[in-house]
Amino acid sequence: MNAIRPRRLRNDKNIRDLARETRISSKALILPLFIKEGNGIIEPIESLEGHNYYSPDTVQAGIEDILNANVKSVLLFGIPDKKDDEGSGAYSEDGVVQKAVRKIKERYPEITVITDVCMCEYTANGHCGIVKDGKVINDLTLPYIAKIALSHVEAGADIVAPSDMMDNRVAEIRKTLEGKGFHDTPIMSYSVKYASSFYGPFRDVAKSAPAFGDRKTYQMDYHNRREALKEAMLDIQEGADILMVKPAMAYLDIIRELKDKTQNPICAYSVSGEYAMIKSAAKLGLVNEYAVMCESAVSMFRAGADMLITYYAKELSKAIEKGDIG
């Protein structure tokens, strides 16, 4: 008989906890937050149950709630009241995200504010860049992306996260930040962002679905894995500090690939459609929401994520505190 019996390490909860291979902490969780132009807004987001829109003047209440759940990092998205061809609301000093960043940092300097750097919520056509003759033009877009990132950093953002998927945008942002003396601001690059149908609820929340065509000329084809490494390597050369993989649940192999082949911290983004699937399956009584939330988040860390952006950040933090995971 074989003397090796894996079941010995499953005898009771304490032993299982000791022998656990994946440890997660609330310190590694990041919560997305949607800031809407206006005043006095604390409004439930229909397609993201359990989440609210905040306006810059109410965002401190949202942060209070997040800190109470022991989550210390947020990723901000802006919902402007006006859109135009150049997405000018995205880099305005008085833009919705810039105002919110200042409000948050004024009262809660201890919270890490990450900002999504993109144009699609601000352009009338819903694309992530400057459009000419029906095409998103890479090099015309770069100065805008850099300008948006700089305006966020000037407002006090701790980390900028470009999600547009233009080539060379990390280099452009890095050069611009260096030129203004912001040597110490990390760039969390959406290095590996797939053209995914899992963004459905988000586009409804941010009113950012493209008015024509799709995002397949800039976001990646989900058949590709080696290309993910190519994107990540380019971003590293251009000065990215953290590499993001998005979505997460259907891309665990990509998370592992980057973890094994790079030296940068890896951030997984479990996107709106992943959250919505768990929520709706649970509503139908088909799965246990809490258990599936825990299992899928742990799988992302097990795959190699060092940090996780998730709409379940507060609930996961509580699950960790209770000792159910982590």
For 9-39, b where at least 16 C-beta lie within 10 A, e where not — what string? eeeeeeeeeeeeeeebebebbbbbbbbbbbe
CB of 308 to ligand PBG, least distance (A): 12
Does residue 186 have a cis peptide bond before it, meaning omega lies within 30 degrees of 0? no
Binding mask 254-273 for ligand PBG (x = CB under 6 A): -----------------xx-
Question: Is residue 115 a contact point for ligand PBG (CB under 6 A)?
Answer: no
CB of 94 to ligand PBG, least distance (A): 21
Question: Is residue 303 a contact point for ligand PBG (CB under 6 A)?
Answer: no
Q: Which of 45, 90, 104, 118 binds ligand PBG (CB under 6 A)?
A: 118
CA distance 116 to 163: 7
CA angle 165–167–172, rounded 5-degree value: 100
* CB nearer to ligand PBG: pick between 90 and 303: 90
Q: List alpha helices for the chain, DSSP H.
A: 13-18, 59-68, 96-107, 138-155, 169-179, 200-206, 226-238, 252-261, 272-283, 289-303, 313-322
Q: How many positions of this chain bind ligand PBG (CB under 6 A)?
A: 10
* CB nearer to ligand PBG: pick between 83 and 326: 83
Q: Using an 8 Å Cβ cutoff, are 239 and 174 in contact?
A: yes
* CB nearer to ligand PBG: pick between 51 and 72: 51
178 is in an annotated binding site: no
Q: Which residue is nearest to ligand PBG (CB)?
A: 202
CA proximity to 301, closest of 319, 286, 283: 319
CA proximity to 161, closest of 200, 130, 192: 192
Question: Is residue 96 a contact point for ligand PBG (CB under 6 A)?
Answer: no
Q: Which of 36, 72, 83, 246 is catalytic?
A: 246
- Cα-based distances in Å from 62 to 43, 234, 297, 319: 11, 36, 23, 20
Query: What are residue 267's phi and psi, to 5 degrees?
Result: -110, 130
Question: Is residue 202 a contact point for ligand PBG (CB under 6 A)?
Answer: yes
CB of 270 to ligand PBG, least distance (A): 8
Question: Is residue 191 a contact point for ligand PBG (CB under 6 A)?
Answer: no
CB of 1 to ligand PBG, least distance (A): 51
Using the rule CB under 6 A, give the single segment among 113-121, 130-138, 178-186, 284-292 that binds ligand PBG: 113-121
CB of 191 to ligand PBG, least distance (A): 13
CA distance 230 to 275: 28
Using the rule CB under 6 A, give the single segment among 102-110, 152-160, 168-176, 196-204 that binds ligand PBG: 196-204
Identify residues 139-178 at the interface with ligand PBG (CB under 6 A).
163
The 3-state DSSP class for residue 124 equals: coil
Q: Would residue 193 show up in a list of annotated catalytic residues for this protein?
A: yes
Q: Using an 8 Å Cβ cutoff, are 164 and 128 in contact?
A: yes
Question: Is residue 199 a contact point for ligand PBG (CB under 6 A)?
Answer: yes
Question: Is residue 123 a contact point for ligand PBG (CB under 6 A)?
Answer: no
7 is in an annotated binding site: no
The tokens for 25 are 């902490």
Q: Which of 103, 193, 279, 314 is catalytic?
A: 193
CA torsion, points 60, 63, 65, 66, in degrees to nearest 10? 180
267 is in an annotated binding site: no
Query: What are residue 320's phi and psi, to 5 degrees?
Result: -70, -45
**Annotation: binding site for 5-aminolevulinate:** 203, 215, 272, 311
Annotated binding site for Mg(2+): 231
Annotated catalytic residues are: 193, 246
- Give the residues lining the site for ligand PBG (CB under 6 A): 116, 118, 120, 128, 163, 199, 202-203, 271-272
